[in-house]
Structure 1
């Protein structure tokens, strides 16, 4: 029986029962709060350590020796050795964040059948994939056994819940998977382990799948350095030797290099930024028909005149990324933007939520309250001693300049904002924007200190002793800084992204938006055609309840959550015919009708 998309998001009340104790909420993790100081410190340390040790001890080299792996996992034939007429495959990238978003995607991926309506109103019946590919960054904020279990394994196990057979899982390693040196990733995905949600088969962090009718899917591991190691190059060369001239390739990378090359400053590019060209020209010897990538948490599809596809589908559960950066709409080599999700205007409008930075990121507000308190507390205490009225602003400025502690912390604040500033517009832009951002914080800290001094000075005699007066001043500074500091940060991120096209990651990670999720469902049919179904979730459910039957419960959306929307197709299915792929030659001209995809 098919499961309609509307049923996945809104089950009728008669098919579900409510529990009174405990609350009708699964024991899942919330979205990662990226501006929580604890998360920032932990992620920063993990990044530093993984980058340092990753350069010195590349785990891929050890696995290539210790973990032999078949050149290709064969899905062109069934378990009895007969050629497959068709195959369904699901692609999910950037998952393992909050329960609501990750489980909403997982419940649709694990449904036996799913009816999906496209923008034209046509309904397409799809089947759950026999193969499931995780396209990179399988957990957030950093990799560990505990985080994988809570944020990735648990939602998918709960979503499958014996509704159908367990799919074979293959995982691409992303940068977040590398933050513990790929140790937890290897334990979970590369040791043949079974879980209630899937079966793993790969032994390394890269793999090749032989699919029906001459299709191949290759999963790479670029590590943190965006580099292909020598054993991996040799592995894919051997795989390419098994391909026929008419075979077609789907290449899965953790990151969309075709987009990063456009937004990355030219001075910072090197030969490692051309791994895709190297794979096509030197390793595979043919053009890739379909590129799939995550890392950017939205849907974006580019297509060229030959019909080749470059698709970003990083909507498996992590926070949303913007789609309104102008530089990624067109490519010099002819790839043109065909669709993005959410739409550009929606993305631009969502950026305005940064004006609510204080409410969305409460722990960062606490941190900024502490910074403002340290900047102005000593100055306010000095001005309040013996004062009979509000001091002039010049006196506040002089007191700040004479305070060694305030000067050191002020310099550290400006240095921190310069380091934080985006470098994609060049070094000078980073220095100027960072200095302006830091200068605004210092100016507001001075104004806040002036105001606190004006309030505390008249009350000095009433508060009777200086310690009580200083504590009162400190509380005022802390409360003012907790409100003003995050607002300045949110305003800075809003202007940076919507006006100067900078800080896309920082401006949206601050919002932790669980909606606008997506995954891809691929169908290889009996005619050898590949049909790509891009599935989107406008708004994921926030409330859940146990469904029936009672002996086999399943988390289903609470009907009271009326704002949740069912999964639908982002655009009509993309159909890629079974034709010969173009060889890689310097003088390849425009394809004729027989060679078009």
Structure 2
């Protein structure tokens, strides 16, 4: 799994994010793709190869994949099976079949987009899982924000050039698509880009597609992120922009035909529905780290009577998992190296003999020494300013206060560690002040103190922020890199034109694999010795539209 608090990954992803935001504003790749493929030609899967109307069709929706091997491969291995019998909470079983269509719902790779990352984290796991299983599914994909980190170059190369790779066959020519399905159903995939914006060629594309729809046709709409839930945590301006985009597409372009909304971006399963039978489903469990389901704690009412129906994991389980942040160092050892280095540099720059002093006198001496040292003041200010910037926008007007308090806690920790080390190397070990031996021992001990205390304080901060204030949802669970609680949605259009939605979850993915024994098996299969792994099961009974 990607270790999001690894300083090198943080730096690399930050740079990629800035570059992609600049590219997205100045050079929108979607405009070029629209010029390269001007025709509006939806893929037609409403008929078979002989031109006869299909009576039924199976398809799979997987989003937010391409992270760790165990999580990504576990989902791919499950999707690749020709048939799958799953059980719901009541014990009732259902026979399902691998989808002829496969939909990637955004963020097909982490931490950033490149041909190398796609190959290692997405294509190889899926190709290994598909080997010897069933005919290649027809793949359609939409990009998420991580797919945009290289300006969409790698995504277009892999998914929009009608290639056969990774165990699938691609058809689309743009980063969005339209597919005609049996019995008047349509599958629509959008590309909202980093600015959460619908470009004009995309609007024109879907307007032309809408002209091909009959009055009673219905739409499954795939979005890169759930605007209806993201609106709970975004600023009013961004929230209004996203809601306007979705409302415009749904009502003005497609003509109120959307029966099912599918989205990823949040790495869990959550379903909202209204009394009219419309479904809004988040299924971002294709391989990326788990996101919490217990935030935001207080939600604005969703429009059109949508209410929460199911989430996986439960809010109670999600809140319990957040406590693992107390072992932050275990999950993010390289972050500990960073805090150990910062603590050591800050304490070493002071270089005061406070070992024999009482706490008030030692603190007074440290403060007076620090104020007389511009370097120490600059380092302290940079730490505080950095933590103000890190504080979640959900704190609102208290964000600067939270950042300052967080920074002061770390500075207090540096003081207490330095005071304890000074006492140890002075009165206890009796090492001469400003001697090389004392300096080296002090530096090593302060580094070790920062290695343990810094990450622990960060974990405590994230725990309190999420479980008390519903803030830092992304950071508090990104720090844990949890590979479990995976999910995808298997769909079936039956001969009567009904759409069946099978939300399939994997509570704990296998951690051990062994080579497949025959050519009819995937390249790797779960090792039976891994007794803690759980089989795929229905998250809730099938939803019928």
Shorter-normalised TM-score: what interval?
over 0.9
1:495 alignment counterpart? 464
Matched, 1:401 2:374: no
Following the alignment from structure 1 to structure 2, what is the Cα–Cα distance between the partners of residues 559 and 496?
A: 40
2:115 alignment counterpart? 145
* Counterpart selection for 2:287 from 311, 317, 324: 317
* Counterpart selection for 2:336 from 329, 347, 365: 365
1:197 alignment counterpart? 167
Deviations 1:268-302 (A, max 9, x none): 54434421100122211224110000000000000
Matches within 5 A, 1:323-334: 323-325=293-295, 326-328=297-299, 330-334=301-305
Between 1:51-60 and 1:257-266, the stretch displaced more is 257-266
Following the alignment from structure 2 to structure 1, what is the Cα–Cα distance between the partners of residues 520 and 267?
A: 37
Following the alignment from structure 1 to structure 2, what is the Cα–Cα distance between the partners of residues 485 and 47?
A: 26
2:418 alignment counterpart? 449
1:432 alignment counterpart? 401
Matched, 1:308 2:262: no
1:14 alignment counterpart? none
Matched, 1:81 2:51: yes
Q: Is the 8 A contact 1:320 1:514 kept in 2?
A: yes
Matches within 5 A, 1:209-228: 209-228=179-198
Matched, 1:574 2:543: yes
**SS in structure 2 at match of 1:458:** helix
Q: Post-superposition shift, 1:560?
A: 1.2
Q: Post-superposition shift, 1:382?
A: 3.3
Q: Post-superposition shift, 1:196?
A: 4.2
TM-score by length of 2: 0.96
C-alpha spacing 1:268/1:553, structure 2 compared with 1 (3 Å)? closer
Unaligned residue ranges in structure 1 (runs of 5+): 1-30, 577-597
1:39 alignment counterpart? 9
Unaligned residue ranges in structure 2 (runs of 5+): none
**SS in structure 2 at match of 1:61:** helix
**SS in structure 2 at match of 1:545:** strand
Q: Is the 8 A contact 1:320 1:516 kept in 2?
A: yes
2:211 alignment counterpart? 241
Following the alignment from structure 1 to structure 2, what is the Cα–Cα distance between the partners of residues 77 and 271?
A: 38
Matched, 1:128 2:95: no
Q: Is the 8 A contact 1:142 1:176 kept in 2?
A: yes
Q: Is the 8 A contact 2:319 2:467 kept in 1?
A: yes
* Counterpart selection for 1:348 from 316, 319, 333: 319
What is the aligned residue count? 542
Following the alignment from structure 1 to structure 2, what is the Cα–Cα distance between the partners of residues 327 and 287?
A: 30
Q: Is the 8 A contact 2:431 2:437 kept in 1?
A: no
Q: Post-superposition shift, 1:396?
A: 2.6
1:255 alignment counterpart? 225
Matched, 1:524 2:493: yes
Deviations 1:199-231 (A, max 9, x none): 111110000010000000100000000000000
Q: Is the 8 A contact 1:352 1:494 kept in 2?
A: yes
Q: Post-superposition shift, 1:516?
A: 0.3
Q: Post-superposition shift, 1:378?
A: 1.9
TM-score by length of 1: 0.88
Between 1:210-219 and 1:549-558, the stretch displaced more is 549-558
**SS in structure 1 at match of 2:352:** helix
Q: Post-superposition shift, 1:168?
A: 0.4
**SS in structure 1 at match of 2:188:** strand
Q: Is the 8 A contact 2:232 2:300 kept in 1?
A: no
Q: Post-superposition shift, 1:242?
A: 0.6
Q: Post-superposition shift, 1:408?
A: 0.7
Q: Is the 8 A contact 1:396 1:450 kept in 2?
A: no
Q: Post-superposition shift, 1:188?
A: 0.5
C-alpha spacing 1:173/1:499, structure 2 compared with 1 (3 Å)? same
Q: Is the 8 A contact 2:352 2:366 kept in 1?
A: no
Following the alignment from structure 1 to structure 2, what is the Cα–Cα distance between the partners of residues 464 and 444?
A: 22
Q: Post-superposition shift, 1:550?
A: 7.1
Q: Post-superposition shift, 1:552?
A: 6.3
1:180 alignment counterpart? 150
Deviations 1:529-574 (A, max 9, x none): 0000000000000011113127966311111110000000000000
1:231 alignment counterpart? 201
* Coordinate RMSD, CA, aligned: 1.7
1:468 alignment counterpart? 437
Following the alignment from structure 2 to structure 1, what is the Cα–Cα distance between the partners of residues 385 and 306?
A: 40
Following the alignment from structure 1 to structure 2, what is the Cα–Cα distance between the partners of residues 269 and 560?
A: 48
Following the alignment from structure 1 to structure 2, what is the Cα–Cα distance between the partners of residues 206 and 48?
A: 24
